[in-house]
């Protein structure tokens, strides 16, 4: 049974979608822990209610980014995860931390990367006047929001959209593509060639072909 550790900072709606998919689809993996850098992250209660160990490693308790990342890494590694999933984990990570989880750490970002990195992506999209916006699942590399892209979903930007209405439309798609991307990783279907992700056929397609 493979092990996943999920990192959150807030409400954890992507984490919930992942927990639901893992249960409903009987994934060959278990969520070994949910870790938050904020003690008041509301997603922690949901994880605990579902019997998942929860931990807080509060960045405010550490004197530097390096010290925090080292503490976080040691907690994560105590669960020996095959995959680390960033689900609304709002921290910029140090290069050694990212290198330690190379090719086994995924993030979801609320834009169609490489457009609109960083924060306030829905505001950025509205200001740019794009007609399509969306979300991206990608492997995490040292450069913020730049790792190899695993999955994307696009939504229309409507004339009367606000940041909130656009965020809600994108979030709905996040909840679909993130569990699917993780499932592909667990099934060994993802491979990275020259920074580009290839997704192999699933077992049933391979059989049919
Ligand atoms: C999601 O929209 C996620 O894409 C975004 O934060 C939100 C977390 O919501 N992540 C980032 O902006 C990372 N740079 P959630 O806690 O309900 O999953």
Give 80-115 pLDDT, tens digit per residue: 999 999 999 999 999 999 999 999 999 999 999 999
* CA 131 to ligand 1 center in whole angstroms: 21
Q: Which of 78, 101, 124 is the last residue of a domain?
A: 101
| pLDDT at residue 183 is higher than 80 | yes
Binned at pLDDT 50, 70 and 90, residue 203 comes out as confident
Binned at pLDDT 50, 70 and 90, residue 39 comes out as very high
The reply to whether 114 and 178 lie within a common domain is yes
Ligand 1 pocket residues where CB is under 6 Å: 8, 10-14, 87-88, 108-110, 171, 174
* CA 110 to ligand 1 center in whole angstroms: 7
| pLDDT at residue 206 is higher than 70 | no
Query: Is 143 inside any structural domain?
Result: no
109 is catalytic: yes
What is the C-alpha separation between 167 and 79, in angstroms, rounded? 33
The reply to whether 177 and 81 lie within a common domain is no
What is the C-alpha separation between 7 and 207, in angstroms, rounded? 35
158: containing domain = 109-136+149-209
Question: What number does the ligand 1 atom closest to the CA of 10 have?
Answer: 16
The reply to whether 116 and 95 lie within a common domain is no
Protein residue with least CA distance to atom 12, ligand 1: 109
The reply to whether 85 and 166 lie within a common domain is no
Number of domains observed in the structure of the chain: 2
* CA 109 to ligand 1 center in whole angstroms: 7
Mean pLDDT, to the nearest integer, of 14-25? 97
The reply to whether 63 and 113 lie within a common domain is no
Binned at pLDDT 50, 70 and 90, residue 202 comes out as confident
Query: Is 156 inside any structural domain?
Result: yes
Segment among 25-34, 99-108, 198-207 with least mean pLDDT:
198-207
Please report, for the domain that includes residue 21, its CATH number: 3.40.50.170
Query: Is 33 inside any structural domain?
Result: yes
The reply to whether 119 and 162 lie within a common domain is yes
């Amino acid at each position: 049974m493979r092990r996943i550790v999920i990192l959150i900072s807030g409400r954890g709606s992507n984490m919930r979608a992942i927990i639901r998919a893992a249960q409903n689809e009987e994934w060959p993996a278990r969520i070994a822990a949910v870790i938050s850098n904020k003690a008041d992250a509301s997603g922690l209660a949901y994880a605990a209610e579902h019997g998942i160990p929860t931990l807080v490693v509060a960045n405010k308790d550490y004197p530097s980014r390096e010290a925090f990342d080292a503490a976080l890494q040691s907690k994560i590694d105590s669960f020996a995860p095959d995959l680390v999933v960033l689900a609304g984990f709002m921290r910029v990570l140090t290069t050694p931390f990212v290198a330690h989880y190379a090719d086994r750490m995924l993030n979801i970002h609320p834009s169609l990367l490489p457009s609109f990195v960083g924060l306030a992506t829905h505001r950025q999209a509205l200001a740019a006047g794009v007609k399509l916006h969306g979300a991206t699942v990608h492997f995490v590399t040292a450069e913020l929001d730049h790792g190899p892209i695993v999955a994307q979903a696009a939504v229309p930007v409507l004339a009367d959209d606000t940041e909130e209405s656009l965020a809600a439309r994108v979030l709905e798609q996040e909840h679909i593509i993130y569990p699917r991307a993780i499932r592909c990783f667990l099934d060994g279907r993802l491979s990275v060639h020259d920074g580009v992700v290839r997704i192999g056929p699933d077992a049933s397609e391979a059989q049919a072909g």
